[in-house]
Amino acid sequence: MPVNARRALREVMAERRNRVVNCQVSLVGTEVLSAGYMRLTVTGDGLRAYTDPRPGDAFKIYLPSRPGRPVPAPSYDEQGHLQWPDDLDGGRPLVRCFTVRSSDAESSNLTFDVLLHEEGATAQWLAEAAVGDRIGFTGMRTEFVDTAEAQTHLLIGDRSALPAIAAIAESLPDTKRTVVIALGTEADAAALGLPDSAEITFVDDAVGLVSTVSGFAKTDARTQVWIGAEAAVVKEIRRDVLGRGPLSRDAMHASAYWKAGLNWEQTFEESMDRFLAAAKAGSDVGDPGVLQSLAFD
Ligand SMILES: Cc1cc2nc3c(=O)[nH]c(=O)nc-3n(C[C@H](O)[C@H](O)[C@H](O)COP(=O)(O)OP(=O)(O)OC[C@H]3O[C@@H](n4cnc5c(N)ncnc54)[C@H](O)[C@@H]3O)c2cc1C
């Protein structure tokens, strides 16, 4: 049977539709993992509702505009755009999306590994954040389901996706082959805890990522592909992999982790506009395949 990651994801997303976690958490601490990554740990009673963690799960987090400020819960207008109260002292919170790296049900702690890149507002926030700071929290977004049919997992990403790739690779059984092609270094792999069992090829830039994936000729009907990177890079890789066959688009899950020139709120607003227009036109927006076509076709 060929891999059908689309169907598997769709089923899990449907199961989880009524299990949205929406709460406040507090910062337990931060840890420098390497020059490029920082781990943040959060906790909160509301996280007890997160009962079925899956590798690659991502949450939307609302960081206070200044450390220590409270974060009100946002609402959404009819167009799906985030609305914050008008009288916010200190400005609007930052909205960002990060992948759960580990979860501990007993302590209700979750960790996230954040890439520290030059222009990122999150890195600036983290530099001033203090233990106990309150953070708003909504999710989860399902990003990966291992299918029984997959014999090989090909995980492709840039440095923002390396934490998700580490979480996914770590979850896979030894009976499956895990191939990683990613932007980064051996030091990143060690800092983020990529398992030794994964066959990893690191590249220096997006051009190298596209060409290395293009040179990987071993996709077959039993390969499941996962891609997370900058939107235009994902689009190119996706087109290339699908164009070469025999892999079907149902065997692939691709996510735009960020968009060049836009911060995360702007990226979210832009994709929300496309999502709502498609929903209005009658598209099945609960289908991950439809969501990917909306984002990349
Ligand atoms: C489902 C999902 C899961 C994600 N999980 C993680 C995760 O676990 N760890 C993680 O670090 N990121 C993750 N990301 C990506 C992250 O949400 C974005 O990169 C986000 O924009 C980072 O916020 P920021 O405050 O650092 O930068 P922003 O303030 O949002 O952006 C400022 C500027 O930097 C650019 N920019 C944004 N991201 C990058 C980047 N990676 N490299 C270079 N320039 C960039 C933007 O285009 C913008 O011009 C995830 C994204 C998604 C959709």
Kindly state whether residues 42 and 173 are assigned to the same domain. Answer: no
Per-residue pLDDT tens over the stretch 148-183:
999 999 999 999 999 999 999 999 999 999 999 999
Query: What is the pTM for the complete model shown?
Result: 0.96
Per-residue pLDDT tens over the stretch 96-109:
999 999 999 999 99
Domain boundary among 120, 141, 162: 141
The count of domains in the chain is 2
C-beta of 157 in contact with ligand 1 (< 6 A): no
Kindly state whether residues 289 and 161 are assigned to the same domain. Answer: yes
Q: Which atom of ligand 1 lies closest to the CA of 115?
A: 11
Distance from residue 175's CA to the centre of ligand 1 (Å): 33
The HSE-up count of residue 77 (CA atoms within 13 Å, CB side) is 8
Residue 217 pLDDT = 64
Kindly state whether residues 108 and 25 are assigned to the same domain. Answer: yes
Q: Other CB atoms closer than 10 Å to residue 61's CB: what's the count?
A: 22
Kindly state whether residues 94 and 179 are assigned to the same domain. Answer: no
- CA torsion, points 102, 94, 60, 255, in degrees to nearest 10? -100
Domain boundary among 141, 164, 185: 141
From the list 211, 151, 146, 142, the residue with the least C-alpha distance to 181 is 211
Q: Which atom of ligand 1 lies closest to the CA of 159?
A: 41
Above 80 in pLDDT, residue 289? yes
Residue 80 pLDDT = 73
The domain that holds 214 is classified in CATH as 3.40.50.80
From the list 145, 136, 154, the residue with the least C-alpha distance to 64 is 136
Q: Which helix (H) or strand (E) holds 290?
A: helix 288-296
Kindly state whether residues 109 and 158 are assigned to the same domain. Answer: no
C-beta of 229 in contact with ligand 1 (< 6 A): no
Above 80 in pLDDT, residue 68? no
**Residue listed under structure tokens 């930052």:** 94
C-beta of 120 in contact with ligand 1 (< 6 A): yes
Could you list the residue range(s) of the whole structural domain that residue 123 is in? Answer: 14-141
Residue 123 pLDDT = 92
Kindly state whether residues 92 and 123 are assigned to the same domain. Answer: yes
**Mapping DSSP to helix (H, G, I), strand (E, B) and coil, where does residue 19 land?**
coil
Give the span between the Cα atoms of 132 and 143, in whole angstroms. 29
Kindly state whether residues 77 and 163 are assigned to the same domain. Answer: no
